[in-house]
Amino acid sequence: MLIAVFSLTTLGLVLGLLLGYASRRLAVEGNALVEEIQAILPGSQCGQCGFPGCAGAAQALADGNAPITLCPPGGREVVSALSAKLGIEVNLADVAETMPMTAEVREELCIGCTRCYKVCPTDAIMGAAKHIHAVFREACTACGKCVEACPTEALALHPAPITLQSWYWHKPEERMAA
Amino acid sequence: MSQYLLLLLSTALVNNVVLVKFLGLCPFMGISKKVDTAISMGLATTFVMTMASASCWMLEHWLLAPLGIEYLRILVYILVIAAVVQFTEMVVRKTNPSLYQVLGIYLPLITTNCAVLGIPLLTTQEHLPFVAGLLYGFGSAVGFSLVLALFAGLRERLALAQVPSVFVGAPVGFITASLLALAFMGFAGLVSH
Amino acid sequence: MNLLNRFQPRGGVHPAGRKDLSADRPIRALPLPERLFVPLQQHVGAAATPVVAVGDQVLKGQLIAAGQGTISAPVHAPTSGRVVALGDYAAPHPSGLPVPTLTLESDGEDRWSDAAIPADPFALAPDEIARRVGAAGIVGLGGAAFPSAVKLNISRKSGVDTLIINGGECEPYLTCDDRLMREQAEGIVAGIRLIHHAVGTQRALVGIEDNKPEAIAAMRAAALGTDIQVVAVPAMYPMGWDKQLTRALIGKEVPAGGRSADIGVLVHNVATAYAVHQAVALGRPLVSRIVTVSGGAVKTPCNLEVPIGTPAQDLFDYCGGFTAPPARLVMGGPMMGHELPATHIPVVKGTSGVLALTHAEIGRPEPAPCIRCSTCVRACPVGLLPLEMATRIRAADLDAAIGLGLKDCIACGSCSYVCPAHIPLVHYFNYAKGELSARERAKLKQEATKKLADDRSARMERIAREREEAAARRRAAKEAAEAAKKAAEVTA
């Protein structure tokens, strides 16, 4: 009886000490994964995912507290990159449902208050005080910060217009008998 | 020498730990969606299983048997396996954070992988000498990794197939696994005495 | 010459030619339409920018839009008249989306603008010929619409030694190149000699499918006394694919992802050669082209010389309209052409045909599961595995499809044509290519916006820092002033 207790205790102690030493030697400073994830995210700090900026979202993703489809401006490209990085399977076809959006100014409502371009994280809005503002579609990530800032609801997110350059064939429908 | 080779063959193929002994089925179904991940999991399990076989043999022969406390065998084995798994986890986390993320819960769950506990217990039961015991563990682990990688390859192909909707997902996976097990039965006559 | 025929083409299919509908009808000029809709982008590369304004009078052949950048082509007025609009109009594209288009109202006179005609075009320097070809707005008339001058310049610089003229016309129904070769063989040969001269090639070969004996005879007669060889190649689809024709004629294969110039070959279409002759020797820019109007639903199929920008409806009307409501309208050939969403869409430089097909001609049963018969593998002229690529695309694994050679697929449609299960294979590949380029664009945009966001946060930090420093300086100045004041009081 005593032998059993003694030997188990010793064994536990020895293994515990070994593991303690190993964890000191193999300690991971910070989380390298968080940085890798942050490099994938758009970096516009828009906060649409509900986390404070892209660093917060990367931390949440690394901890497994957020779905990899959390980033609306990133679109399918970011989802597939995250899926490969984290090994989480996701049906890209479901993500495709979200259309690429851009902000647009309704010129008859814009009063030229300059609030929107002050909050735009990518400098995608051009304008001056008392002049109608305009959005550069190429730089807009559809983060929606300007929509919140606009006092006259002149800004809204619209689906990005399909042009001859962005149009492509849809995926063939599957009509397979089960 | 040839007896060691036979031991390896027999543990890896003829008495395959997954498909013949039906041990370690949990990671076999869980971590077999991608070949890369399956190979990494196989390597981690191989390391753990070989280390566990060696250290369990030493504990059995140098601690439990001399002190006559064989009834603590399972307790002690689990303790050692858990320690080795913890160590492996630290190494993986340090060297490959994204693999650590991909393996997720299955990495600590190697502890409760019945194959990892089963093999040292079988080694003890068979009264194998040290080198043979080590090879027994290593061979079984190689067999586990092999089957995991094979099955992951099958499932990668399976993902492309148009499976009748009632069989999509796990059912067709199980059917494939059973076919693979049938195929491994073919090794039964490989080593004759 | 028979020696050259020993190279076996790879893959390919033999669809019913249906060329007899229009092959025996001589080319006729379409009566001048009232309005012409000239898109500013009819070629691969950057769209042209208009150089005329609404209300301007223009003459036939006058420059109305200039090319932009290195890969582009100018656009000329297809007839004399007045510019009545400059805005969006349905594109000759399966989407039918609006594109910038110049609308021209014909004045009925069809008056040419004056052009300088060289006394001897062969006395021109090679780069001058290329310049004139570029200025005439000539693009590949086989359907690809790649600016021809760019091709000439690349070929001259990379030391191309073989000129291949593509008279394959392997698409069913189309007979425009066949008729052109029968009727304008001299003009084509003159054009070939000009290209030959401009690029400095050692030999020139004309490959014509052996189902066009009249065209071969006409071209051989016209090529007598020149060093141009006219070679009959076996009729099969896609023989008109430049790389397939190259393989059939000289037995060389263009490496994956490479260009014909990499193996010392330049390929031009017969119609392009004819247009080069018109432009360089006669000073006529590309303002019209030969179009085959055919299909089971067209009353009298024929070949027409059509001004660029003519709505497809005018062509069908001239051919006597439809005998039955067409099940599908197609622009180009039935294999690689695209569906015409409406008949008001204009003919452009790359339009080789407009077809009105009946149900019997397009009839396509529902797709069934793949039986892995690998008929598509044998049919693929590139040597790909269409069935494997399509399964991966269906499972949304585009990277695996790229690994199998998706980017080398030429979308010829041979696989879809032969598939016994009627799987729309080429549709999968077109979708996947579109999806890939969409992802590529999204990635580029994301990189650009990320840089913008980083720049902005750096700027914000700098501004905050500068403000703080300015405040600190002001504080220091104020304190110094107060100290000085105090000191002055003390001394006083």
Is there a shared CATH topology between the A32-95 domain and the A101-159 domain?
A: no
Q: Are the beta carbons of C453 and A73 separated by less than 8 Å?
A: no
Burial of C123 from C-beta contacts in 10 A (0-12 / 13-18 / 19+): exposed
Tell me which chain C residues have a C-beta less than 8 angstroms from the C-beta of A173: none
pLDDT for the residue numbered A174: 67
CATH code of the domain covering residue C26: 3.40.50.11540
User: Encoding tokens for residue C108?
Assistant: 């009925």
Tell me which chain B residues have a C-beta less than 8 angstroms from the C-beta of C398: none
* Residue C335 within any structural domain of the chain: no
Chain B residues 132-171 within an 8 A CB cutoff of chain C: 159-162
Chain A positions contacting chain C at CB under 8 Å are 42-45, 73-78, 80, 91-93, 100, 121-124, 138-141, 162-164, 166-172, 174-176
Q: Is C147 helix (H, G, I), strand (E, B) or coil?
A: strand
Q: Is B18 helix (H, G, I), strand (E, B) or coil?
A: coil
DSSP conformation letters of B101-123:
HHHGGGTGGGGG-HHHHHHHHHH
**Torsion sign across C-alpha atoms B166, B169, B171, B177:** positive
pLDDT for the residue numbered B143: 95
Q: Are the beta carbons of A19 and B93 separated by less than 8 Å?
A: no
Over residues C49-104, the pLDDT tens digits come to 999 999 999 999 999 999 988 899 999 999 999 999 998 999 888 888 899 999 99
Residues in chain B: 193
Domain count, chain C: 2
Select from C366, C389, C385 the least CA-distant residue to C375. Answer: C385
CA distance C42 to chain A (A): 12
* Residue C462 within any structural domain of the chain: yes
Subunits with 3+ Cβ pairs within 8 Å of A are B, C
Over residues A111-169, the pLDDT tens digits come to 888 888 888 888 888 888 888 888 888 888 888 888 888 898 888 888 888 888 888 88
Last residue of a domain, one of C291, C312, C337: C291
Q: Are the beta carbons of B87 and A33 separated by less than 8 Å?
A: no
Structure confidence at residue A91 as a pLDDT band (50, 70, 90): low
Select from C221, C218, C217, C189 the least CA-distant residue to C205. Answer: C189
CA distance C327 to chain A (A): 20
Cα distances (angstroms) measured from residue B53 to each of A8, A107, C402, C473 = 19, 75, 45, 72
Q: Is B1 touching C (CB cutoff 8 A)? A: no
CA distance B160 to chain C (A): 6
The topology (CATH level 3) of A32-95 is 3-methyladenine DNA Glycosylase II; Chain A, domain 3 (1.10.15)
H or E stretch at C292: strand C288-294
Tell me which chain B residues have a C-beta less than 8 angstroms from the C-beta of C370: 162
Q: What is the largest CA-CA distance in chain A?
A: 89
Q: Is C433 touching A (CB cutoff 8 A)? A: yes
- The answer to whether C76 and C36 have CB atoms below 8 angstroms apart is no
Tell me which chain B residues have a C-beta less than 8 angstroms from the C-beta of C369: 162
Q: What number of C-beta contacts closer than 8 Å exist between A and C?
A: 90
Distance CA C70, CA C146 (A): 12
Last residue of a domain, one of C270, C291, C312: C291
CA distance A7 to chain B (A): 8
Over residues B91-143, the pLDDT tens digits come to 888 888 778 877 777 788 888 888 899 999 999 998 999 999 999 999 999 99
Q: Tokens 């981690």 sit at which residue?
A: B44
pLDDT for the residue numbered C117: 81
User: Encoding tokens for residue C273?
Assistant: 């050669």
Cα distances (angstroms) measured from residue A139 to each of A72, A113, A119, B51 = 15, 21, 14, 55
Distance CA C391, CA C421 (A): 14
Q: Is C401 touching B (CB cutoff 8 A)? A: no
pLDDT for the residue numbered A95: 59
DSSP conformation letters of C307-334:
ETT-BHHHHHHHTT-BSS--SEEEES-T
pTM attached to this predicted model: 0.83
Q: Is C238 helix (H, G, I), strand (E, B) or coil?
A: coil
Q: Is B3 touching C (CB cutoff 8 A)? A: no
Where residue A103 falls (left for φ over 0; alpha for ψ -120 to 50; beta otherwise) is: beta
Tell me which chain B residues have a C-beta less than 8 angstroms from the C-beta of A12: 79
Q: Are the beta carbons of C395 and B162 separated by less than 8 Å?
A: no
Domain count, chain B: 1
Say which residues have a Cβ less than 8 Å from residue B162's Cβ, sequence separation at least 6: A176, C369, C370
pLDDT for the residue numbered C2: 47
ipTM above 0.85, yes or no: no
Tell me which chain A residues have a C-beta less than 8 angstroms from the C-beta of B90: 22-23, 26
The boundaries of the domain holding residue C269 are: 2-291
Q: Is C99 touching A (CB cutoff 8 A)? A: yes
Q: Is C42 helix (H, G, I), strand (E, B) or coil?
A: coil
pLDDT for the residue numbered A93: 59
Residues C387 and C271 in one domain: no
* Residue C474 within any structural domain of the chain: yes
Intervals of chain C under pLDDT 70: 1-7
Q: Are the beta carbons of C370 and B160 separated by less than 8 Å?
A: no
- The answer to whether C167 and C219 have CB atoms below 8 angstroms apart is yes
Q: Is the pLDDT score of A97 beyond 60?
A: no
CATH code of the domain covering residue C414: 1.10.1060
Tell me which chain A residues have a C-beta less than 8 angstroms from the C-beta of B75: 8
Residue range A101-159, CATH number: 3.30.70.20
According to DSSP, the β-strands at C328-331 and C338-339 are antiparallel
Distance CA B11, CA C376 (A): 44
Q: Which residue of B has its CA nearest to C392?
A: B160
For residue C240, the one-letter residue type is G
pLDDT for the residue numbered C469: 94
Residues C379 and C279 in one domain: no
- The answer to whether C135 and C285 have CB atoms below 8 angstroms apart is yes
- The answer to whether B17 and B119 have CB atoms below 8 angstroms apart is yes
- Give the count of alpha carbons within 13 A of A46, CB side only: 27
Chain C residues 17-76 within an 8 A CB cutoff of chain A: 41
Q: Are the beta carbons of A178 and B165 separated by less than 8 Å?
A: yes
Residues C27 and C129 in one domain: yes
CA dihedral angle for residue B134, residue B138, residue B144, residue B149, rounded to 10 degrees: 170
CA distance A111 to chain B (A): 49
For residue C255, the one-letter residue type is P
- The answer to whether C355 and C295 have CB atoms below 8 angstroms apart is yes
Residues C124 and C15 in one domain: yes
3-state helix, strand, coil in chain A (%, to 5): 40, 10, 50
Distance CA A78, CA A44 (A): 13
Enumerate the domain spans of chain A: 32-95, 101-159
Q: Are the beta carbons of B67 and A7 separated by less than 8 Å?
A: yes
Tell me which chain C residues have a C-beta less than 8 angstroms from the C-beta of A163: 97
* Residue C313 within any structural domain of the chain: no
Q: Tokens 């039965």 sit at which residue?
A: B185
Tell me which chain B residues have a C-beta less than 8 angstroms from the C-beta of C391: 160-161
CA distance C410 to chain A (A): 15
Asked if the bond preceding A42 is cis, omega within 30° of 0, the reply is no
- The answer to whether B52 and B80 have CB atoms below 8 angstroms apart is yes
The boundaries of the domain holding residue B93 are: 2-189
Burial of B170 from C-beta contacts in 10 A (0-12 / 13-18 / 19+): exposed
Give bridge partners of residue A126 from the DSSP assignment: A134
Q: Are the beta carbons of C449 and A122 separated by less than 8 Å?
A: yes
pLDDT averaged over 10-residue windows placed end to end, chain B, 193 residues: 88 90 87 86 90 92 88 90 90 82 80 88 91 93 95 91 86 93 88 64
Q: Which residue of C has its CA nearest to A76?
A: C439
Distance CA A91, CA A85 (A): 15
Last residue of a domain, one of C291, C322, C347: C291
Tell me which chain B residues have a C-beta less than 8 angstroms from the C-beta of C395: 159-160
Q: Is C39 helix (H, G, I), strand (E, B) or coil?
A: strand
Tell me which chain C residues have a C-beta less than 8 angstroms from the C-beta of B162: 369-370
Query: How high is the mean pLDDT of chain A?
Result: 81
